[in-house]
A and B are shown apart, each in its own frame.
Chain A
Amino acid sequence: MIALLLRDLRLAVRAGGGFGLGLAFFLIVVVLVPLGVGPETALLSRIAPGILWIGALLACLLSLDRIFALDREDGTLDLLATAPLPMEGIAAVKALAHWITTGLPLVLAAPVLGVLLNLPAGGFAWLFLSLLLGTPALSVIGTFGAALTVGLKRGGLLLSLLVLPLYVPTLIFGAEVARRGAEGLAVEAPLLLLAGVSLGALALLPFASAAVLRVTLR
């Protein structure tokens, strides 16, 4: 499992792996929003938590189709399926690799971009924490979506149609934590619910992804 994880990480970091693309996309979204809604700082600081969450979510979505597509094309996925590693483990490791290469950089970059959007000072810690808790769920759910569409020729658009509705609970709770944190309200309830969604997805969805992969490789 560790070997597979390291392999995925190396592939992502090397040239052509697309590492950093998600980050650049995140930056562009954050730059485009003020251009669209106007530069008033009061408005921006009010919508900053939501923008940052949606930006992170879309950036996550962008790199999902790479999770399995390349491995499927060159036959790696078939080899992995015959390896002693259980399919659930493969799905979990793939999700973890996606989180480390896409989710984690987004979490680290979000506070910096928060400055651009004039996020209130109290909100930075909660934004960071909510993304840290929420992005793993985004990666696991995304892995499930990627597994569903891996056998398709043009799965990209379908992937977003399938995955985005599944992102709703995570987005609601995550953005709520960030918003309440920025406004100085109590964040405990949405924080716990976000953690619950995240942990539930982490625990259960690898099994669904594995079932889907077995069907696709049949």
Chain B
Amino acid sequence: MSLWEYANPVRFIRFTDRVLPPLAVLAVVCLVVGLIWGFFFTPDDYRQGSTVKIIYLHVPATLMAINAWLMMLVASIIWIVRRHHVSALAARAAAPVGATMTVIALATGAIWGQPMWGTWWAWDPRLTSFLILFLFYLGYMALWEAIENDDTAADLTSILCLVGSVFALLSRYAVNFWNQGLHQGASLSLDKEENVADVFYFPLLVCIAGFVLLFVALVFLRTQTEIRARRTRALIARERAA
């Protein structure tokens, strides 16, 4: 048994069919518990008041927006190297989810920034690089849509994803150079003793788990849909030919 077994579309669909319902339920439970816990059962911050609670949407969405691109990058490399169709389709399936996460992150950030910074938008390095990331998502999805041949589209978008990753990273650090930041440093990192006060930390972890599960479930579902759509197209083409 290895991971590559699931490169077979039939196996992939059989596996995800089994996993999807518990995954979806778990995601919903995590999100509901995390958000309700976070919104109603944590104290207000002494400086930020209740606005601090947007962290439960903002941080997980931001995390997933970046990791979705990372997942697309890995899937693209797998497609280029081993040419498993499921991998290419998974990258395609992840893009709109990642783009939505980017929008959520930007929107919640703006809603929080209005009372806290006194402005909806600032040309801060983090905000700017996120906007640029969103543009990369748009370009990637548009290229998928534009090309008719599936394999050509998979090849070209994978290469775009590789090149785009390099440039997105470059832009991330280039904007640091260009303007000073208003945004605070990273709230979470693995090498710190305490990231956020524990009262806020645990519901945040539950929310992050919920977002991760939601992302995985959505990508599985969308990949299944892509596989089935492609199969349908193949069947129709065969009917026509016969």
Contact = CB atoms under 8 A, between A and B. Distances in A.
Contacts of B146: 149, 152, 155, 158
B142 A158 contact: yes
B174 A148 contact: no
Interface stretch (A58-66, A94-102, A123-131, A162-170): A162-170
Interface in B115-142: 132, 135-136, 138-139, 142
A165 B152 CA distance: 22
Contacts of A193: 174, 177
Contacts of B156: 148, 212, 215-216
B108 interface: no
Contacts of A172: 171, 174-175, 177-178
A151 to B, nearest CB: 7
A173 B163 contact: no
B63 interface: no
Contacts of A165: 132, 135-136, 139, 164, 167-168, 171
Interface string A149-160: 101100100100
A30 interface: no
Contact of A208 (B147, B163, B168): B163
A144 B132 contact: no
Which residue, of A149, A161, A166, A197, has the highest number of chain B Cβ atoms within 10 A?
A166
B142 A161 contact: yes
A133 B1 CA distance: 53
Interface in B164-192: 164, 167-168, 170-171, 174-175, 177-178
A14 interface: no
B226 interface: no
B155 A205 contact: no
B171 A161 contact: no
A162 B139 contact: yes
A149 B147 CA distance: 9
A197 B169 CA distance: 12
Given A152-B147, A158-B142, A162-B160, A169 B152 contact: no
Please classify how large the interface on chain B is, using the bins under 10, 10 to 19, 20 to 34, 35 or more.
Answer: 20 to 34
A57 to B, nearest CB: 14
Interface residues of A, number: 28
A208 B155 contact: no
A190 B179 CA distance: 13
B234 interface: no
B214 to A, nearest CB: 27
Contacts of A208: 159, 162-163
Nearest to B80: A211
B162 A168 contact: no
B174 A173 contact: yes
B163 A169 contact: no
B143 interface: yes
A215 B162 contact: no
Nearest to B178: A172
A166 B177 contact: no
Contact of A169 (B159, B160, B171): B171
Contact of A168 (B132, B138, B152, B159): B132
Given A158-B146, A168-B132, 18 more contacts: A158-B139, A158-B143, A164-B135, A165-B132, A165-B135, A166-B164, A166-B167, A168-B167, A168-B170, A168-B171, A168-B174, A172-B174, A172-B178, A173-B174, A173-B177, A193-B177, A215-B152, A215-B155
Interface of B: 132, 135-136, 138-139, 142-143, 146-147, 152, 155-156, 159-160, 162-164, 167-168, 170-171, 174-175, 177-178
10 contacts: A148-B160, A151-B152, A152-B147, A158-B146, A161-B139, A162-B139, A166-B163, A168-B175, A212-B159, A215-B155
